[in-house]
Amino acid sequence: MSARNRELMGLVPASLLVTAGFTAVFVQRQDVLSDLSLTYGALFLGLCLAAHIFLRMTLPHADPYLFPLFALLASFGLVMIYRIEEELAREQAQWFVVGLALFAATIVFLRDYRVLERYRYLIATAGIALLMAPRLPGIGGQVNGAYLGVRLGPISFQPAEFAKIAIVVFLASYLRDTRQVLVIGARRVLGLTIPPIKHFGPLLVVWAAAMLMLIVIKDLGSSLMFFGAFLALLYVATNRLSFVIAGMAMFALGAWVIGSRVGHVQDRVAIWKDPFKPELVDNEGYQIAQSLFAQADGGLLGQGFGQALLELPGGGSILPAPHTDLIYAVIANELGLAGACAVIVIYLLIAERGFKTATLARDSFSTLLATGLTAVMALQVFVIVGGVTKVIPLTGVTLPFVSYGGSSIVANFVLLALLLLVSDRARRPE
């Protein structure tokens, strides 16, 4: 079976999941079967088939599993959001279509994605500007203590979702040119390898600017994603574990300094350490405490689809932000540990295919780009799932393709397009 035929067969489970999921929602709500679920399944399959035909014509050698895996996540996300609130699911479906359009546009206009190397400083500047945008008066605003969103008339979006791609492109391009001099010109100081500042300086300046803006906008989750992607790319580019150790030491020192002086970071850490503390449980700690209760209540196989208690009978929320920050807790409650682990396995498969694409790439920029894009997405999953399960402090990032959010789904479609472009070039016959 050819690669594209394998991709076509992989889209069948995604459409079946949409059909079965909506059927379960209708049965749970109305105790009746409805052919509307078949309509939703057919529409989703039609959109995926259109994207498949487009890929068959434009990227015939691309990885055959990446797009079906992303489609499976998107279908699952649509069903979960529809189960929580119908209107949000309709909006998510509209953003899914917009994301597919931008996915196709990225492939058409960036057939030779290596052209991005020429504009790396412009791309880095654009990424930092996107991070600054939520602090601009008139268009930015604060939500739950963080400056995340930008509103331009009727359109609102989270710039950090697009900034992560811009920063990864810059890091991949810059490290491609300087990876040799970073190693050859390095010196040993106290057992650590220190790269030459002349070549490492610009990299640190752009990275530090991005980190500074993320602290200013109080988006700790994105800060962790950028830092993790930075270390992953640095290790792949130089093959020096000492650079990663030095970076982690810098992170530990910075975390200690910021955690002892920045108020909102202190609050997040305090909530993470003891969300059941009496003075926290009714306010700041309520979100994470309810998340832990919901996951514990799900058990191994869950309470059943549509059975999670999200709202009080008299009004009020039992599980805050179930469609965004805590959607993983809803999954664990209704589908149990088995269902939650199945979602994690899909993300692990995506990471495996992304890193395999990096190993097959024929030039350094392609290898670093695929590594960075895969790492930043995997770290985003770790940040939100780790926060919901109390492994790390909870931060407000989305679960890619599952949580509600137009910016997230559109930006991740661009990320997928870039991965497929790299994959097609890597797998193309000589």
Q: What is the pLDDT of residue 207?
A: 67
| pLDDT value at 213 more than 80 | no
Angle, helix 327-360 to helix 406-427, in steps of 10 degrees: 20
Q: Which residues contact 176 (CB under 8 A, 6 or more apart)?
A: 117, 237, 364, 365, 368
Q: Which residue has the higher pLDDT, 391 or 250?
A: 391
Give the least confident one: 135-149, 246-260, 283-297: 135-149
Q: Which residues pair with 146 in a beta bridge?
A: 143
- CA separation for the pair 408, 415 (Å, rounded): 10
Rg of the chain over all Cα atoms, to the nearest angstrom: 22
> What average pLDDT does the structure give for the chain?
83
Output the six-digit token pair for 132.
């600054």
Give yes or no for residue 16 having a pLDDT over 60. yes
Task: Please enumerate in sequence order all residues whose Cβ is within 8 A of that of 413, keeping only pairs 6 or more positions apart, or say none.
Answer: 99, 100, 102, 103, 106
Q: Is the dihedral of CA 158, 161, 166, 170 positive or negative?
A: positive
Confidence grade of residue 188 (pLDDT, cut at 50, 70, 90): low
Residue 414's pLDDT is what? 96
Summarised one tens digit per residue, pLDDT across range 305-352 is: 777 777 766 666 678 888 888 899 999 999 999 999 999 999 999 999
Scan for tokens 């039609």, then name that residue: 46
Instruction: Look up residue 151 and give its amino acid.
Output: R
d(CA 213, CA 322): 28
Where are the strands (E) in 127-283, listed by range?
Answer: 140-143, 146-152, 155-157, 187-189, 192-194
Question: Which pLDDT does position 190 carry in this prediction?
Answer: 63
Is the torsion defined by CA of 335, 340, 341, 344 positive or negative? Answer: positive
What pLDDT is attached to residue 45? 86
Position 195 pLDDT exceeds 80: no
What's the pLDDT score for residue 238?
82
Residue 233 has pLDDT above 60, yes or no: yes
What pLDDT score does 357 carry? 96
**Helices 241-261 + 220-238 axis angle, to 10:** 160
Q: Which two tokens stand for residue 424?
A: 């097609």
Structure confidence at residue 417 (pLDDT): 97
Give the phi and the psi of residue 142 in degrees, each rounded to 5. -100, 130
- Model confidence pLDDT, tens digit, residues 109-166: 999 999 999 999 899 889 888 888 887 777 766 665 566 778 777 777 788 889 889 9
Contact 376, 417 (CB under 8 A): no
Most confidently modeled of 238-252, 253-267, 376-390?
376-390
pLDDT, position 316 = 62
Q: Which carries the bigger pLDDT value, residue 411 or residue 20?
A: 411
Which residues, other chains included, contact 179 with Cβ-Cβ below 8 Å and sequence gap of 6+? 237, 238, 364
pLDDT in tens, 17-63: 888 887 777 777 665 555 666 777 788 889 999 999 999 999 999 99
Phi and psi at residue 240, in whole multiples of 5°? -115, 110
Q: Provide the whole-model pTM.
A: 0.91
Query: Element (H or E) spanning 181, and its range?
Result: helix 160-184
Mean pLDDT value of segment 60-77: 93
Comparing 70-74, 321-325, 356-360, 407-411, which segment has the lowest mean pLDDT? 321-325
CA 412-151-401 angle, to 5 degrees, is 20
